[in-house]
């Protein structure tokens, strides 16, 4: 319970009871905004019919220290084009002036203010332009009222916290899946760029020896290493070797023949 110094404890107790009742069972078109730390200022959101339909108007009631013996003062915080509401938001209604009764509660006051939006009293106008238009040209008055309502009294959109959380979670999941998919595509592209080679490639080497040719098949081993940084292809193949045993033997025989020729010349 609030402990506001501007109001006596018994008044605070009574206001707390009324505000609780308004919160649990609000009047049609009226929603009270309660500040538990200050009961001297009561806020309420009010909607009405044509020409103020589709608008939400915020108002406040200021309670003095001698409340309820003196009436509260009413003000509209939302700009509105209305004969009985001044340009500064002050509300002119008999219930808050000469017709005030200490037995009247907050519920009654709020209902009277809402009825004032539905049925204005141009004879006691605080906004002379609005009062004159209402008496002389209702269509023009209604046009001005709708214009003010559309500009200043649009209700704020309501969002469900659960829906926002679900949307954010879904967005994060989609981004994660997209990142993983991109990584997989890059890896697959790197592997696809490698040349296809068999693990064992046949290599034929011709060997001559003693006037015979032998075909030898030497396996060529290919190792492919794939890592995140680079792709390396290492190929190892033994160089072909030729054995020329016949030529090695032919060279000593030639030397012997040359030596014999020299000996014959000497003779």
Give the percent of the chain with pLDDT over 70: 57
Are the CB atoms for 21 and 3 separated by under 8 Å?
A: no
Look at strands 231-236 and 212-226 and give their pairing.
Answer: antiparallel
Q: Active site residue: 92, 96, 110, 113, which one? A: 92
Q: Identify the burial level of 27 via C-beta atoms within 10 angstroms of its C-beta, where 0-12 means exposed, 13-18 middle and 19 or more buried.
A: middle
pLDDT one-digit tens code per residue, 211-237? 444 434 434 333 334 343 333 333 444
Class of domain 9-152 (CATH, top level): alpha beta
pLDDT at 215: 38
pTM of the model: 0.58
Split at pLDDT 50, 70, 90, the class of 38 is confident
Catalytic (active site) residue 92: yes
Q: Mean per-residue pLDDT for 81-93?
A: 95
Which of 22-26, 46-50, 209-213, 247-251 is predicted with the least confidence, judged by mean pLDDT? 209-213
Domain boundaries of the chain, sorted by first residue: 9-152
């Amino acid at each position: 319970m609030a402990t506001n110094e501007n109001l006596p404890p018994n008044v605070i107790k009574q206001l707390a009871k009324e505000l609780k009742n308004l919160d649990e069972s609000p009047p049609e078109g009226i929603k009270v905004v309660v500040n538990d730390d200050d009961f001297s200022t009561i806020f309420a959101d009010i909607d009405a019919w044509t020409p103020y339909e589709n608008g939400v108007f915020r108002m406040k009631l200021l309670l003095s220290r001698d409340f309820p013996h003196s009436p509260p003062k009413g003000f509209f915080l939302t700009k509105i084009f209305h004969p009985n509401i001044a340009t500064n938001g002050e509300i002119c209604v008999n219930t808050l002036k000469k017709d005030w009764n200490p037995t009247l509660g907050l519920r009654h006051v709020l209902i009277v203010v809402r009825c004032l939006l539905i049925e204005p009293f141009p004879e006691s106008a605080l906004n002379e332009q609005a009062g004159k238009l209402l008496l002389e040209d209702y269509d023009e008055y209604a046009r001005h009222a709708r214009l003010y309502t559309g500009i200043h009294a649009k209700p704020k959109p309501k969002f469900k916290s659960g829906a926002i959380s679900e949307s954010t979670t879904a967005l994060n999941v989609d981004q994660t899946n997209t990142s993983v998919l991109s990584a997989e595509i890059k890896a697959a592209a790197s592997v696809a760029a490698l040349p296809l080679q068999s693990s064992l490639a046949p290599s034929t080497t011709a060997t001559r020896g003693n006037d015979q040719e032998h075909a030898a098949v030497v396996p060529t081993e290919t190792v492919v290493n794939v890592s995140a940084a680079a792709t390396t292809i290492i190929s190892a193949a033994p160089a072909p070797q030729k054995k020329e045993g016949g030529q090695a033997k032919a060279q000593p025989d030639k030397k012997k023949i040359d030596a014999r020729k020299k000996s014959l010349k000497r003779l």
